[in-house]
Structures are given as C-alpha cells and as structure tokens.
C-alpha cells in the first residue's frame, strides 16, 4: 500500500469514487481511496438507482443535471457499463397547488438547459400506460432522467479514476486520523499509515464515525427507507417499451419498472431513524428488518393511481439506511475549524447528486473554491446549534416532506423556536409571524391578532399588512431587529493588515463603516459585509446571519501566522435598525450625543448612550431611509426597544418584518448576499466598481477582478420592472429576450411605495425589453434606468 498521497478519500460508495474520479479529471492523479470493505458497501449497494434533475434549489438542480448527463461519458472513459436506463421521469400532479409548483419547475428548466417539459394526459397514457390519468390534472416529463445500476456506476467511477493514476485500497478500514504540525494528515488504516495533504470524508453511512476520528460531530443521521419490488404483472409484461420513473407527489411515491414487475418506494410519515448513536462498524451488505405495514397506506394509494399494481403482489422488500442532513441537502466542503479536512457526505440521492458533489469537492480542493454557488450544500451552513437533537427533529420533518410541497411563503415548524432574542415575546405579542434562519427567529411581518398566512404561490393575505409597514417606514419610522445578523470581530496587531488582504474595499478609519465585499481567488463574490473600525486594531464585520460560520471559516483559513484574533461575536450583540425620516428625532430623545447630520454623518459609527444602555450605533440602513443600526448587549435589548417604542409613539413608529425590508431594498435596487450576490457572479457583473479598490495593496481575488473589470461584460446586475400586478415575483423566474431564456431573477419583490413589481437579475448588457415567466405566463419586463425610489439617495444621507 502507498504511504503517501496528495488526497486520501475515505469511503468507496458512489460519492467517494466520484470525488476520486473528479480529482483525476482535474489532473490530480496522486490520489487514493481507502475503503473498509468492498466498493458499494454502504447505502450504495441497495439503492434503487433512480436519477432525476429537479430540485427546489436551482444550483442543486444544476449539479443534478451535471450528474445525470455524466454517465455516458463515464462509460466511455471507464469501458464499464453504468446500466443506464434513460427512460425519463414523469411527474404527476392532481391538485391545483401542485400544478402551480409544476409551473415554477417548468419555468426553471428554461435557463437550466434541461429537457423538462409539460405533457398532456394523452401523452402520459402513451409514456406510461399504467397511470390512471383520471386522477391527475398536470404532468411533466424529463427524458434525460431514469435509473442506473448502482454497483456499475460505482465501479465505473473507480475504473476511470484508476485509469488516470488513482489508487484504491480495499478491505482496509481507516482507524485513526492525526494531524501533523504542517497540516498534513496521517491516515492510520489496518494496512498501515498514509500521509496526505487533504482528507475527504466520504464515509456515507459511517460519515459520523469518520468525523469523530477528527473530533467533529456532523449533523447527519441515517433513516430507514423502504421500497418494494412486485412479481411480474401482465400489464407490464405486454408493454412495448420500458416505462419511465414516475413520481406521484400526492401519493408521495416513486415508481419504476423492474423487469416484468414494478419497483415502488415511498417517504412515509411514520418514519424511523436508524443507528441513532452510531453506525455499527460491522454493518455490511445487510438489509434492515422489513416493515411493509409502515408503507402499506402509501402502497394502497398507489394502487388507485396505477391500478395494475394490485395484481403484482410483493416479491421482495428492501429496507436500507440512507443518510439525511437536517435540510436534506448534502454536506460538502472544508470543515470549519479543521485544516484540509473536507466532507462529501449526507448525500441522500447519490445517483442524482454524486457527480456534482464530486466535481465541487475536487474544484474546492484544487482551486480553494468550489467554482459556483454551493451554499445550499456547504457544510458551513450548519453551526453548533445543529446538534443531534436538532438533527433528529429536522431529519424527521425532512424525510416526511421529501415529496411534500413547500410553498414559497411557508415556514417549516420543526426544531423551533430555537434561538430567540430577548424581544421575541414582545414581537410575538405584537403579532409577528416568524421565519427562521440559522436557528434564529426573525419577524416576517406583523399580523393582526388571530390572522395566519395561507401558504400559496400567489399573493398572500400578508400583502396589505406589509404595505402598511412599508408606508410607516417611508413616511415615519420603523424598527427591524438585526440581532440575527452575523457579527465577527477581527482584532490584534495585524488585524488591519490581515483584513485589508481579505476585503476588496479600503478599510474604514476609526469610527467609520465601509461596505466591504470579499472575493474568491477567481474573483467570484464570496461575501458582502459592512466593516466598522471600533478601535485602531479592532474591526466589527456584520453580514448575513446564515453565513457566520461560512465567514469565520474563510477568515480563519487565511489568518495563518498573523497576530490576529477572529471571534464570532453574533450573540454578544443584539441589534435594532431604527429607520425612516423620523429616525433621528426618535433616537435623539434617548441620547445626549448630537445626531445632527454633520455631527453624525452617514456611514459613521459611534459608541453612545441610548437610554441607559451603552450602544454601538452605525448610521446605515438597508431600506434607503435615514437609519441607525443600534447594537447593545442582549441584556439591554428590551430596555432600548421599549424606550425607542415610547419615544417613537408620537412619530408613528411601527415594527416591520423582513418582507417590508425586501420591498424597500428592491425599491432602491439593493442586492442581498445569498440571493443576488453569490459565487455565481463576479464583482464587475455585480456592479461593485465602487467597492473594489485597485489603488490599494493586494487582496484576495484582485488579479482576477482586474481582468473582469477590464473585459467587456456580457451580463450585469440590473433592476427590472415586471408587468405582473397580481402575482408577485418570488425569485428564480426565467427571463426571456427574443423568445430565448437569457437570465433568471435573483430576487424580486413588490415595491409597495412605488407600486411596481420589481426584480433583480444579471441581464445581458444589450436590450431593454424582456419577458419574465410568472406562474406559467410570460409578462413584459423592462430594464429600469435607475432605482424607482429616491435614486439620488438623498433620504439615506439626509
Ligand atoms: C432503500 C434505498 C433506496 C435508495 N434509492 C436511491 C435512488 O433511487 N436514487 C438515489 O440517487 N439514491 C438512492 N438511495 C440513496 C443512495 O443509496 C445514497 O445517496 C448513496 O448510496 C450515498 O453514497 P455514499 O457514497 O455517500 O455512502 P455509502 O454508500 O454509505 O458509502 C460509504 C462508504 O464508506 C466506507 N467507509 C465507512 N467508514 C470507513 C472507514 N472508517 N474506512 C474506510 N471506509 C469506510 C463504507 O464501507 C462505504 O462503502 C437509496 C437508499 C436506500 C437506503
């Protein structure tokens, strides 16, 4: 066995071999995979092998489309069949709401370049004659989907990687992981020790155990999953073609042909975790105890949709464990707090996602970045609060809802409320309806007593109430809570030198705040934060709450050898944004500090007294109005909140939620990180010229950004007005020019004070007239020359 390799991948399931293959594809051939048993010894061997492209997250769909397309190439490279049955996937809907969901998926297919299209019930009868079409109203079909042979795919990846120089060590469990002072890993296996620069945990069912070898607890758990295979069925025997994989969303089942019978599986509500405390090391090519009773009601329902199923009888039942993360997406990337330890696990649909996961991990190791926006599967989207108890509750919810539709305005209830600020009960009393991000509860909007929001793809009953919140802020003053924002303190003798290298803007002087993007080495958008200098050698970075671990990981990775301390101080500060034309009048009543524009200008920060509390106040606002972000110790939050509310009562102060915030930021054309600003775009495309300073020293991504700003742009972020007054933009709608999909909406919201439907998108630089597909209808959209609300920003700077 080799004793050295550049990368060691632990685990020879479909995901591990895909990582190995993609490393070799990028030219890294000194790579090795270590497998405790034979290839496919985890979840992989008993998978149904189904593959499909659609996913709620467009970037996940993109990676699934990549995976699904890869198999023929893999067959050519490896000389090994993947057992590809490209029979397509038929998706069936029998309710109006589900039909609307289909419209949004069909819309996304336009820019994802996938062949998903609507089919009539007559076509359904031809594609899959086993379906009772009277039960359905709408159907979609993707001819690229189908199923593969799990074992053949795994061996094809492995062969193709070996052909390029990779080595695979079988029947060789990894027993220990140690890290040398130079960061290299010592992988202690049954056959000896291997030294590697990088280690990849692709341990699948045992990923938790492989994580523990490096002292980490990964938020994933195995769930039992069952499917049955029937005996031969006369209607199947007489088919003249293989039927496609067929998904009945209301029935929460997937079905495909298996020889002369059918294979049918379901995500039952009465679900079970497996091996909660840890996967036994001696679990091999075994199945779990079958329990058909648990899925019987789903099978009975399926018989009403595919009547011939009744004739089959059950030939065999497969019950196997498959690993889930709390949100059902994979767990990929460098693990925060460790050096050169990557995960490629939590992959619950290995035959739809394994190729994409392998490609992303290989890029990340080789380039230091994944090459596209993969936050939806980044291991850093989870934090310490995502412990085992949390993971149990969320994986239960997620498993049950695998085929259940989540409406765009719907918030899921499991594991909540988890993180609440001191004013949570007060906001609840005021009618706040909450969403959750990174465990934090934050208000969506404030509803009159007894009012709930109906889940819908259309305009909801929140509309008029959000409009009233916007009006109050635009005309008077409002409060939005910012406690959940991610806050990171960077301090120490080398803090300025270090941070100057991390961000593309010039650092602020003492008492000033600056918008500071962070770029990736290839000039892609990495982060978008405000940086406030609170002391000569101390900076407070404030950004999206969902990204606090993502940012601290990035800063920590680059701070090697510098005298700098990086502290996640999110819970040290609670925050309120007081904003609107009367904001100064309200705050001035609570402080002796002169808040006049000259004394306390825009983007300045002061440590002042607010009421009886010490507060860091930053003059900034995401609404486009005069505003102050007020940060205090959590124990002072109620005090400051109550004082502001009493001082604001005479000025028409109103609490507002994130929906009103989105409406107002769209009216100003402000993009937001994670939606409009992601690694899919670069700083030139994001129109960030004023935040990327080439007249300062070197910073990460500088060389790439210089090139991007010099080259002619093909697309750039722009605000669109969309002629849809009754159905609101949700984000991810395709945009057409001359009948061709040219972009997608990155975020959209109704601008309540300007009465316009607004959308942000990276549009081609030429042309002003576009169409946006909104719930199946194409409506006219035009490029706006400037923000529709206060384009000169006089209110913000007043
Ligand atoms: C019943 C069932 C049906 C399914 N149907 C589908 C489907 O239709 N389509 C689909 O896409 N997915 C399906 N899946 C899910 C699919 O099986 C998984 O997504 C996929 O197999 C995950 O692969 P993996 O490589 O991450 O993990 P695994 O297959 O679990 O592989 C992990 C590997 O790591 C090895 N390993 C662990 N610890 C060590 C160690 N210490 N040292 C060395 N090696 C180690 C193991 O031996 C194992 O081979 C199904 C799952 C089940 C249970």
Residue among 63, 350, 355, 358 to mutate when testing ligand 1 (max atoms within 8 A of CB): 350
**Residue 787 CA to its chain's centroid (Å):** 28
Calpha distance 158→423 (Å, rounded): 55
* DSSP state letter for 694: T
Q: How far apart are CA 699 and CA 693, in angstroms?
A: 9
| Ligand 1 pocket check for 349: Cβ under 6 Å | yes
For ligand 1, say whether the CB of 247 is within 6 Å of any of its atoms.
no
- Please choose from 204, 347, 352 the residue to mutate so as to test ligand 1's pocket, defined by most ligand atoms within 8 A of CB: 204
Ligand 1 centroid distance, CA of 80 (Å): 20
Alpha helices in 79-115 (DSSP H): 96-112
From the CB of 350, is ligand 1 less than 6 Å away? Answer: yes
Q: Is 174 in the pocket of ligand 1 (CB under 6 A)?
A: yes
The answer to whether 102 and 247 are in contact (CB under 8 A) is no
The number of the ligand 1 atom at minimal distance from the alpha carbon of 319 is 1
Write b or e for each residue in 441-463: b if 16 or more Cβ atoms lie within 10 A of its Cβ, otherwise e. bbbbbbbeeeeebeebbeebebe
Ligand 1 atom nearest to 345, measured from its CA: 26
499 close to ligand 1 (CB < 6 Angstrom): no
Identify the CA nearest to 210 among candidates 13, 348, 47.
13
Distance, CA 297 to ligand 1 centroid (Å)? Answer: 27
What distance in angstroms lies between residue 45's CA and the mean position of ligand 1's atoms? 7
Residue nearest ligand 1's atom 31 by CA = 13
The best mutation among 20, 44, 223 to test binding of ligand 1, ranked by most ligand atoms within 8 Å of the C-beta, falls on 44
Lowest-pLDDT range of 53-57, 163-167, 580-584, 627-631: 53-57
Tens of pLDDT, residue by residue over 261-280, are 999 999 999 999 999 999 99
Please state the atom number of ligand 1 nearest to the C-alpha of residue 11: 34
Ligand 1 in reach of 16 Cβ (< 6 A): yes
- How far, in Å, from the CA of 14 to the mean position of ligand 1? 7
Question: Span 543-559, mean pLDDT?
Answer: 96
Asked if pLDDT for residue 137 goes beyond 90, the answer is: yes
- DSSP for 189-209 reads ETTEEEEEEEEEE--GGGHHH
Residue with the smallest CA separation from ligand 1 atom 21 is 44
Q: Which residues contact 429 (CB under 8 A, 6 or more apart)?
A: none
For 406: left if phi > 0, alpha if psi spans -120 to 50, otherwise beta; the answer is beta
The reply to whether ligand 1 has any atom less than 6 angstroms from the CB of 435 is no
pLDDT score for 405 = 87
* Contact by Cβ (8 Å): 437, 482: no
Is the minimum distance from the CB of 83 to ligand 1 under 6 angstroms?
no
Q: Is 415 in the pocket of ligand 1 (CB under 6 A)?
A: no
Looking at residue 561, its pLDDT comes to: 86
In short, whether 355's Cβ falls inside 6 Å of ligand 1 is no
Whether the Cβ atoms of residue 285 and residue 437 lie closer than 8 Å to each other = no
Strand pairing category for 192-201 and 117-119: unpaired
CA angle 390, 396, 399 (to 5 degrees): 130
- Per-residue pLDDT band for 220 (boundaries 50, 70, 90) equals very high
> With helix as H, strand as E and coil as C, how does 292-321 read?
HHHHHHHHHHHHHHCHHHHHCCEEEEEEEE
Which is the closest atom of ligand 1 to the Cα of 347?
19
Q: Is the CB of 347 under 6 A from ligand 1?
A: yes
Residue 263 beta carbon below 6 angstroms from any ligand 1 atom: no
d(CA 505, ligand 1 centre) in Å: 44
Q: Ligand 1 centroid to 552 CA: how many Å?
A: 31
What string of DSSP letters covers 667-692?
HTT---BTTTBSTTSBTTTTT-GGG-
Query: Quick check: CB of 46 below 6 Å from ligand 1?
Result: yes
Average pLDDT in the 654-658 region? 98
**Nearest C-alpha neighbor of 786 from the set 628, 627, 624, 644:** 624
Tell me, using a 6 A CB cutoff, whether residue 206 lines ligand 1: yes
**Closest-lying ligand 1 atom to the alpha carbon of residue 175:** 41
Closest ligand 1 atom, residue 154 Cα: 25
Identify the residue whose C-alpha is closest to ligand 1 atom 26: 204
Ligand 1 mean position, distance from CA 336 (Å): 24
Is the pLDDT at 620 greater than 90, yes or no? yes
202 in contact with ligand 1, CB cutoff 6 A: yes
Distance, in Å, from the CA atom of 151 to the CA atom of 168, rounded to the nearest integer, reads: 16
Q: Is the pLDDT of residue 604 over 90?
A: yes
How do residues 691-731 score in pLDDT, each as one tens digit?
999 999 999 999 999 999 999 999 999 999 999 988 999 99
d(CA 482, CA 295): 45
- Cβ 15 under 6 angstroms from ligand 1: yes
Cβ-based neighbours of 766, under 8 Å, separated by 6 or more: none
What's the pLDDT score for residue 418? 97
Q: Assess whether the C-beta atom of 331 lies below 6 angstroms from ligand 1.
A: no
Of 20, 47, 224, 316, which is best to mutate to test ligand 1, by the most ligand atoms within 8 angstroms of its C-beta? Answer: 47
> Could you tell me the CA-to-CA distances from 458 to 199, 408, 446, 694 in Å, in that order?
47, 9, 19, 45
Q: How far is the CA of 371 from the centre of ligand 1 (A)?
A: 25
Q: Is the pLDDT score of 581 beyond 90? A: yes
Report how far ligand 1's centroid is from the alpha carbon of 434 (Å): 36
Give distance in angstroms: CA of 286 to centre of ligand 1. 12
Give the pLDDT confidence score for residue 255 in this predicted structure.
96
Element of type H or E holding 212: helix 207-212
Element (H, E) at 750: strand 740-751
Evaluate if residue 55 carries a pLDDT over 90.
no
Pocket flag, ligand 1, residue 227 (CB < 6 Å): yes
Distance 139 CA to ligand 1 centre (A): 31
Q: Check whether 286 has a pLDDT greater than 90.
A: no
Distances (CA, A) of 429 to 359, 378, 578: 48, 36, 20
The verdict on the CB of residue 205 being under 6 Å from ligand 1 is: yes
pLDDT band, residue 612 (cuts 50/70/90): very high
The residue whose CA is least distant from atom 48 of ligand 1 is 42
316 pocket-lining for ligand 1 (C-beta < 6 Å): no
Consecutive H or E run containing 705 = helix 702-710
- Per-residue burial over 186-196, b if 16 or more Cβ lie within 10 Å, else e, is bbbbeeeebbb
Residue range 57-90, pLDDT digits in tens: 889 999 999 999 999 999 999 999 999 999 999 9
Question: Ligand 1 centroid to 207 CA: how many Å?
Answer: 10
Parallel, antiparallel or unpaired: strands 4-10 and 192-201: parallel
Using the mean position of ligand 1's atoms as its centre, give its distance from the Cα of residue 34 in Å: 15
What's the length of the chain? Answer: 798
Atom of ligand 1 nearest to the CA of 203: 34
Residue 284: predicted pLDDT: 83
Match 């008077």 to its residue by tokens: 476
pLDDT digits (tens, 9 = 90+) for 157-210: 999 999 999 999 999 999 999 999 999 999 999 999 999 999 999 999 999 999
The answer to whether the beta carbons of residues 565 and 535 sit under 8 Å apart is no
* Ligand 1 midpoint to CA 214 (Å): 21
pLDDT at 285 over 90: no
């Amino acid at each position: 066995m080799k004793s050295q390799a550049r990368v060691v991948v632990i685990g020879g399931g479909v995901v591990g071999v895909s990582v190995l293959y993609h490393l070799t594809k990028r030219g890294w051939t000194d790579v090795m995979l270590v497998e405790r048993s034979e290839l496919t010894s985890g979840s992989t061997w008993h998978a149904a092998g189904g593959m499909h492209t659609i996913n709620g997250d467009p970037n996940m769909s993109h990676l699934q489309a990549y995976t699904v397309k890869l198999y023929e190439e893999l067959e050519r490279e490896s000389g090994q069949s993947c057992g590809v049955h490209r029979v397509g996937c038929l998706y069936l809907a029998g309710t109006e709401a589900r039909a609307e969901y289909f419209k949004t998926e069909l819309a996304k297919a336009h820019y994802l370049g996938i062949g998903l299209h609507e089919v009539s019930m007559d076509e359904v009868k031809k594609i899959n004659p086993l379906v009772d079409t009277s039960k359905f109203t709408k159907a979609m079909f993707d001819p690229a989907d189908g199923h593969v042979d799990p074992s053949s795919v795994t061996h094809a990846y492995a062969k193709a990687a070996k052909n390029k120089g990779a080595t695979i060590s079988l029947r060789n469990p990894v027993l220990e992981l140690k890290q040398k002072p130079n960061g290299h890993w010592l992988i202690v296996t049954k056959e000896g020790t291997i030294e590697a620069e990088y280690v990849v945990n692709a341990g699948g069912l045992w990923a938790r155990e492989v994580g523990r070898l490096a002292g980490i607890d990964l938020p994933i758990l195995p769930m039992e999953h069952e499917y049955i295979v029937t005996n031969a069925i006369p209607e199947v025997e007489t088919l003249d073609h293989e039927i496609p994989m067929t998904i009945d969303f209301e029935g929460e089942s997937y079905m495909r042909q298996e020889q002369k019978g059918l294979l049918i599986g379901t995500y039952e509500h009465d679900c079970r975790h497996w091996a909660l405390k840890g996967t036994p090391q001696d679990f091999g090519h075994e199945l779990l105890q079958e329990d058909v009773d648990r899925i019987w009601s789903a099978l009975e329902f399926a018989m009403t949709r595919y009547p011939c199923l009744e004739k089959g009888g059950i030939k065999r039942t497969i019950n196997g464990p498959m690993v889930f993360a709390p949100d059902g997406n994979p767990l990929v990337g460098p693990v925060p707090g460790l050096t050169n330890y990557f995960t490629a696990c939590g992959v619950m649909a290995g035959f739809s996602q394994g190729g994409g996961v392998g490609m992303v991990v290989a890029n990340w190791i080789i380039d230091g970045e994944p090459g596209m926006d993969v936050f939806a599967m980044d291991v850093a989207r989870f934090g310490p609060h995502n412990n085992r108890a949390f993971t149990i509750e969320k994986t239960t919810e997620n498993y049950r809802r695998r085929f259940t539709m989540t409406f765009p305005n719907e918030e899921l209830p499991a594991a909540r409320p988890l993180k609440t600020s001191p004013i949570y009960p007060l906001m609840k009393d005021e009618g706040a309806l909450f969403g959750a991000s990174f465990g934090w509860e934050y208000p969506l909007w404030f509803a009159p007593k007894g009012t709930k929001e109906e889940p819908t793809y259309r305009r909801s009953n929140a509309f008029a109430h959000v409009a009233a919140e916007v009006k109050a802020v635009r005309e008077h003053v409002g409060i939005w809570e910012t406690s959940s924002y991610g806050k990171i303190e960077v301090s120490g003798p080398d803090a300025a030198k270090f941070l100057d290298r991390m961000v593309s803007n010039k650092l602020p002087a003492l008492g000033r705040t600056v918008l500071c993007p962070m770029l990736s080495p290839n000039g892609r958008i990495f982060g978008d934060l405000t940086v406030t200098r609170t002391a000569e050698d101390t900076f407070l970075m404030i950004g999206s709450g969902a990204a606090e671990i993502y940012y601290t990981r990035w800063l920590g990775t680059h701070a090697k050898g510098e005298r700098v301390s990086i502290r996640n101080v999110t819970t040290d500060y609670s925050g309120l944004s007081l904003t609107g034309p009367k904001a100064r009048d309200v705050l001035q009543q609570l402080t002796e500090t002169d808040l006049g524009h000259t004394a306390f200008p825009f983007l300045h920060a002061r440590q002042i007294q607010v009421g009886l509390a010490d507060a860091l106040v930053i003059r900034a606002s995401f609404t486009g109005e005069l505003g102050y972000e007020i940060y205090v110790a959590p124990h002072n939050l109620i005090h400051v909140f109550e004082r502001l509310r009493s001082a604001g009562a005479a000025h028409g102060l109103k609490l507002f939620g994130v929906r009103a915030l989105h409406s107002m930021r769209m009216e100003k054309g402000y993009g937001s990180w994670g939606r409009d600003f992601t690694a899919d775009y670069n700083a030139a495309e994001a129109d960030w010229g004023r935040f990327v300073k080439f007249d300062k020293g070197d910073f990460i991504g500088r060389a790439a950004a210089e090139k991007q700003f010099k080259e002619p742009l093909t697309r750039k972020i722009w605000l669109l007005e969309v002629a849809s007054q009754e159905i609101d933009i949700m984000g991810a709608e395709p945009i057409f020019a001359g009948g061709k999909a040219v972009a997608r909406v990155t975020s959209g919201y109704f601008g309540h004070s300007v009465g316009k439907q607004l959308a942000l998108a990276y549009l081609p630089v030429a042309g002003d007239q576009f169409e946006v597909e909104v719930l199946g209808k194409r409506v006219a959209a035009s490029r706006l020359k400037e923000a529709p609300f206060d384009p000169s920003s006089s209110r913000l700077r007043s």
